[in-house]
Structure formats: structure tokens, C-alpha cells
Amino acid sequence: MTTVPDTARDTASDSARTRRTAPVRLGERPLTPAEVVAVARHGATVEIADAAHERVAATRALIERLADDPQPHYGISTGFGALATTFIAPERRRQLQASLIRSHAAGTGAEVEREVVRALMLLRLQTLATGHTGVRPVVVDTYAAMLNAGITPVVREYGSLGCSGDLAPLSHVALAALGEGDVRDGSGELLPASLALAEAGIAPLVLEEKEGLALINGTDGMLGMLLLALHDLTVLLDTADVAAALSVESQLGTDAVFAADLMALRPQIGQADSAARLRALLAGSEITASHRDPAVCTRVQDAYSLRCTPQVHGAARDTHAHAALIAARELAAAVDNPVVTSDGRVESNGNFHGASVAYVLDFLAIAVADVASISERRTDRALDRTRSHGLPPFLADEVGVDSGLMIAQYAAAGIVSELKRLAVPASVDSIPSSAMQEDHVSMGWAAARKLRRGVDGLARVLAIEIVTGCRALELRAPLAPASATAAVRDLVRAAGVDGPGPDRFVSPNIETVTALVLAGEIACAAASATASEDARGGRR
């Protein structure tokens, strides 16, 4: 799968890089997800704790003693993978380390996004700083200096099987630290790594025993993408509730089905959370109140896409919570092979296998596809005059002459169809490599890459529902909407998105609202309005 550039996210990230945040300190405790996002997306710098330097120096002394041992030790005085039984003489070990990095930097395809590369660099640095990998302090300092200088190695789309670490992606980073390959500087300019390091005053690394493996044996790429996706989905799931509220309100749906006592009959945490948000978002709506009287509205119940919104959105929230738990555990890990234990042993292990991360990446892709699917169904209902309860066909101004938002729904449908394909798990696949030594792999990198595309698609589907819901809301005038949905409508209109009227160029409206969605401005506008309504005592 080739990643399509995400213009809205790239624009937001470019803007965010101009903000300076406090340095993120490594080596005292595991990183938090927010710290990873700060460094990866917003350009925060890093610093290494003194205690971490001391641990790294102590374990390096152990590695150097083992390097002098006539008995072979994997990764220190032997080859790698299927060549693990090959003893390497001391005078050839520097060449061994450099050869490992050069040969494993075998990625191909499109460049991976800057924020992903910075995330995997930071996460590898965190593991190096634990003192469990056996590298020298200079290796830790070099990676920190590259991050702080904004040097981003060029990493390619394909190359990782999600086992033995994200080998190819991490090797491209290590290659840049050696002064080889290509990088992008802080302004995004492509240049040779040797030149970028020289301009930043960073000496290229010359790797010693064990260090090559330590730089490439980790789940850092897939974990970094998981943390970025979790961050984005926190916003998107809140936004999905806002989009649903617009649809429920403008399509004359009932909010009675979201009642707390009904939710309590099925004690799912995410479901109750989503329902509570929907109640708050719809509080005070004249539109919703206008059809509560059975004499006015004879419908017994709404369609599933309206009525079951908390059940679907809530399941996605619970999935998000589970994935966040796995990510937090992985953030506390020191993944390498072999690893230096706390009591000074150097042991081979399988902690580099990415199954735990890969599973939740796939799980999230399923949730993303389903939240987008129910959103598109709500959009379609608003555009169908036989189901929208009085709205014009396709919300068009002059029916027949104008097509309204007909093709916007096509775009949502096309994205949802792709998201369903992307929801097919990558982690159920495996393919043997390294002469059958590495005979079961996680495909976690592939799971992460498709989830990133899924997150972008969900944002666009929600944007189309918001464009539709805001227009439909205005067509219910003179009845006033809820404070929260009115605030979203006002934000969308202030951004230059067209309301009801003759046909205009639709694509820019979708792109504008997509940017608002990804930046969290839609969710923030709704949250501010509900907080104000609650403070005034207006929430039911």
C-alpha cells in the first residue's frame, strides 16, 4: 500500500513545528504518549538524564569485556540472523557493524512521513538510554543531537516485516548517523547525511561491537505510528459524536434513545461516554424539541445509523482504550536482541516480535472503518428526500438544476469502501525470512501504515458529514439548533464553507472542514459550547 500525502495533516504539522515546547527528558522514566507526539509532530527537543549516561557507560563496559572473550557471543562477536554461528575476528567487527547497517537499509517506495521517522528515532533513543542495549554514550548523544537539529533520515515505505524489529526503517536512520544516505533538514530540504551532520556539528558514528544490532532491533516504527494514531483518534472520536449530533438533530431524530438509564442497562464504558456526549451536544435544541410530542411525530424509532450511534462510537472508544493500554506497556519496554539484563547477563530473546502492537493496530483499523461507515450512512440519509423528513433532495437549492451534496456522498462512500479493505488484518499474515531463521513475523509495520491511511480517511468522511449536517441544520430554520451544533455551524461558516444556495465548487469546502477536524477545532468548538451551556444551567 502506498501512502497518499495527507495535505491537511502536513499543513497542520508544518505550522506546529514553529512552536517551541519544553525539552523532553529521557532516561528517568518511560516516555508519555504526549511527549512522543511533541517530539515527532511538533519538533520538541530532547535531553538525556545524567543517570542514563551512567547506565549506558556501565553496560558498555560489560559488552567490551565480552568482546575480548574468545567464546562467541551473539551480536558481539558473531554474525547475525542465519549467520549467528559465524565468529567474527576483532579486527573485522567495525566492518561487520557498518555492513549490517548498509545491507539492512534496503527500504523501497515512497518516503515515510517526517513525524513517523522522528517518532521511531525517539523511541529507539529511549531504549538506548535504558542501558539495556550495550551501546556507548556517544551513540545516545548522536541520536539526541540529530533529533534536536531536525535531521530526518529518508526512510522508505516498504522493508519491515515487524519482527526482529523494524529492521529496514531503523537501518536507514542508523545509516544517516554514520554519515551515509540521504536526510531532510529542518526546512525539509533533501541533502546527503554527511553534509547535514557537518552543518549541525555532529560527528558521524563509527560503530563498535553490538551497536549495529542495538540500533535496529525494535518495534519503534510501528509503536510510533500507533501513538500518533491514538492521538489523532482521540480527537476524531470526539468529532464523530459531534458529526452524529448534527445528523440526529437535522434529520429530526430523537435524543431519548441516548438516555443514561437506557445506557446503564448495557454497562459498556465507551457507549455510556458517547451517549452522554450526544445528550450534551443536543441539549437545548428547538429542532429536537419540536417533534417530541407524539401528536407531532408518529415515527416509532429512528434508523440504526442514528439510534445506534453510541453503540458503534462507544465500541470504537473501548477499542481505543485497549490499544492505549498496549501502547503504554510498549513504551515501558526496552526492546533489543541480545539484551543486557539488570544483573549483567547478555541474553537472546524474542521481545522484538511486534505481535502485541500489530494486533491493536489492526483492531483500530476495524473501528476506524466502522465509525466511518456509520457516518457515511447518516450523510446518505440527509440527502435522500424519502428518509430526511422534509429536507430537499441532496440539500439542493433548485432541485433538478442543482445537485447539492450528491457527489460529496460519493466521496464518502468511496473512502468507506477503501477503509473496509484496509480493515483486513495485516497481523494474520506471516512470511518466512532470513533462511527460515525468522520464520514467523508480525507484519506490524504494514498494519501501522494502513491505519495511518485509515485515520486520514475517517477525518474526511466525518468532514463530509459535518458539511452536510451544517447545511441541513440551516434548512430547519427558523427553529434554533443546540448551542453546541450551532457553534460548529458558525465555525464552519466562518472558515468560508458555503451554506444553502446554488451549487458551488464543493471540494474546497470538504478540504477546509477536514483541516478543522484534524486540528481538533470542530471538537473544541462543540466542547466549549456545551461547557458554557452547562455553566448556565441549560444542560438537560
- The residues that are catalytic are 74
Compute CA 411 distance to the chain's CA centroid, rounded to the nearest angstrom: 22
User: Which segments of 421-537 are extended strands (E)?
Assistant: none
Cell triple for 472: 441541513
Distance CA 360, CA 17 (A): 29
Q: Which of 301, 285, 353, 346 is nearest to 526 (CA)?
A: 285
**Element containing residue 419 per DSSP (H, E):** helix 406-422
Q: Which amino acid is at 151?
A: I
| Residues contacting 503, CB < 8 A, separation 6+ | 396, 397, 402, 403, 404
Identify whether 169 is preceded by a cis peptide bond (ω within 30 of 0).
no
Longest Cα–Cα distance in the chain: 92
Report residue 145 as a C-alpha cell: 543531537
Q: What letter does residue 131 receive in the DSSP assignment?
A: T
Question: By C-alpha distance, which of 300, 469, 285, 454 is closest to 375?
Answer: 469
SS3 content of the chain, % helix, strand, coil (to 5): 60, 5, 35
**d(C-alpha 145, C-alpha 321), whole Å:** 34
Q: What angle do CA 214, 36, 170 make, to 5 degrees?
A: 30
Q: In 3D, which of 353, 456, 420 has the Cα closest to residue 115?
A: 456
3-state SS, 225-294, equals HHHHHHHHHHHHHHHHHHHHHHHHHHCCCCCHHHCHHHHHCCCCHHHHHHHHHHHHHHCCCHHHHCCCCC
